[in-house]
């Protein structure tokens, strides 16, 4: 294995920012161990940009990332920082990095994290590579983001349990999952759980369509159903849709379950551990090859570096065939 590099980078800092996602620790581990392989000094910034501004920076050793690959959350903690979005805040952050002679950054997070990283690397000419860590799977330039697969499996496990009680009581359950702007969790969890209808922000499925489906199900004497709703759906959240259905079908025993932050926590599954390890490795390798202002992603099982502007702003669409399939299989 070669240790050749094309830059003079000697010190790298890694941080996690924004919402946590299962697999972030696996990515941190990969960054630290890849950096150590290349004889680099590696630092961890606690609490993301907030910690960068406060100078909460510590040296990381390989032994410090042992036994963390299976842990949820992030050992570096995370936070959202309004101060970093000001020139004064970024100036303080840069001064603290320079105090530790840090040459480059690995930013693990989502849209907001990369927005801040993009501005920062342009202002101060410090190399930054992003690692997509968000359960929403809404970043362009990678098939999956870290935490997405685990979040889907968490949602499906919850809905399997809800199905048991729905079956026992002949109830109609509305289950709300995360996804303010993207329906990837809702679509995949809906298909995997056999939901009767899936409401996503990107699709035009209406409450009227659900009403028609329930009428057809009633004629077939279908006694219960699961309906999955992404929190950012255009027709409203699970409670709003359930209220409309209850008014139309007062004889239905309707219930609402909001899975919420359960989807963020827990041990990452195998897919997320492998994906996070790949992305952490490719982030360090990319920096040493002279790349900056890009996100490391995996597309068709190959590494792809996507500029921050595209990763943030380009729309990652739902698979229309999967949307069509979900409708057909729910009949």
Report pLDDT digits (tens) over 51-105.
Answer: 999 999 999 999 999 999 999 999 999 988 999 999 999 999 999 999 999 999 9
**What's the rounded Cα separation, in Å, for the pair 277 and 269?**
12
Q: Any catalytic annotation for residue 136?
A: yes
N- to C-terminal Cα distance for the chain?
53
> Which is the catalytic residue, given 103, 136, 138, 272?
136
Confidence of residue 171 (pLDDT cuts 50, 70, 90): confident
Confidence of residue 221 (pLDDT cuts 50, 70, 90): low
Neighbours of 162 (CB within 10 A): 19
Break the chain into its structural domains and give their ranges.
11-147+268-313, 148-264
Same topology for domains 11-147+268-313 and 148-264, yes or no? yes
Q: Retrieve residue 38's tokens.
A: 């290349």
Q: Retrieve residue 139's tokens.
A: 């970043």
CA distances from 224 to 19, 43, 164, 196, 240 (A): 34, 53, 10, 9, 19
Could you tell me where the DSSP H helices lie in the chain?
A: 24-37, 48-54, 87-99, 111-124, 148-169, 184-193, 207-219, 238-248, 270-288, 308-313, 320-329
**Average pLDDT of the residues in 6-15:** 90
The CATH number assigned to the domain with range 11-147+268-313 reads 3.40.50.450
**What's the rounded Cα separation, in Å, for the pair 131 and 59?**
20
Q: Retrieve residue 20's tokens.
A: 């946590």
44-65 residue pLDDT tens: 999 999 999 999 999 999 999 9
Three-state SS at 22 = coil
Dihedral Cα 312, 314, 315, 321, nearest 10 deg: -130
Q: What is the pLDDT of residue 2?
A: 47
**Average pLDDT of the residues in 161-181:** 86
**Residue 134: closest CA among 146, 142, 143:** 146
94-144 residue pLDDT tens: 999 999 999 999 999 999 999 999 999 999 999 999 999 999 999 999 999
Confidence of residue 222 (pLDDT cuts 50, 70, 90): low
**What's the rounded Cα separation, in Å, for the pair 180 and 230?**
7
**What's the rounded Cα separation, in Å, for the pair 226 and 223?**
11
Q: What is the pLDDT of residue 249?
A: 85
The fold of the 148-264 domain, in CATH, is: Rossmann fold (3.40.50)
The pLDDT > 70 percentage for the chain reads 96
More confident residue, 330 or 264: 264
Q: Is pTM beyond 0.75 here?
A: yes
* pLDDT above 90: residue 170: no
Q: What is the pLDDT of residue 218?
A: 61
């Amino acid at each position: 294995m070669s240790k050749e590099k094309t830059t003079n980078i000697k010190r790298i800092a890694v941080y996690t920012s924004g919402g946590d996602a299962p697999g972030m620790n696996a990515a941190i581990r990969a960054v630290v161990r890849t950096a150590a392989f290349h004889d680099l000094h590696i630092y961890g910034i606690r609490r993301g940009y907030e910690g960068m501004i406060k100078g909460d920076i510590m040296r990381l050793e390989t032994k410090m990332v042992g036994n963390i690959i299976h842990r949820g959350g992030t050992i570096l903690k995370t936070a959202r920082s309004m101060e970093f979005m000001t020139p004064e805040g970024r100036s303080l952050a840069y001064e603290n990095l320079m105090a530790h002679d840090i040459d480059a950054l690995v930013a693990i997070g989502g849209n907001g994290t990369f927005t801040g990283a993009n501005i920062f690397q342009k202002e101060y000419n410090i190399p930054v590579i992003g690692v997509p860590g968000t359960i929403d799977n809404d970043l362009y330039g990678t098939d999956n983001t870290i935490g997405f697969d685990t979040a889907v499996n968490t949602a499906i496990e919850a809905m399997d349990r809800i199905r048991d009680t729905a079956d026992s009581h002949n109830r109609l359950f509305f289950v709300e999952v995360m996804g303010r702007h993207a329906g990837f969790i809702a679509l995949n969890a809906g298909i995997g759980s056999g939901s009767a209808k899936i409401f996503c922000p990107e699709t035009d499925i209406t409450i009227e369509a659900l009403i028609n489906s329930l009428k057809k199900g009633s004629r077939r004497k279908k006694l219960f159903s699961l309906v999955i709703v992404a929190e950012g759906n255009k027709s409203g959240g699970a409670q709003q849709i359930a209220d409309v259905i209850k008014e139309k079908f007062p004889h239905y025993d309707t219930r609402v379950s909001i899975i919420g932050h359960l989807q963020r926590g827990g041990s990452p599954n195998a897919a997320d551990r492998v994906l996070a390890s790949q992305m952490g490795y490719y982030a360090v390798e990319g920096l040493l090859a002279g790349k900056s202002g890009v996100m490391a992603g995996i597309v068709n099982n190959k590494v792809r570096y996507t500029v921050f502007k595209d990763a943030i702003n380009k729309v990652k669409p739902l698979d229309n065939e999967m949307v069509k399939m979900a409708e057909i299989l729910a009949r």
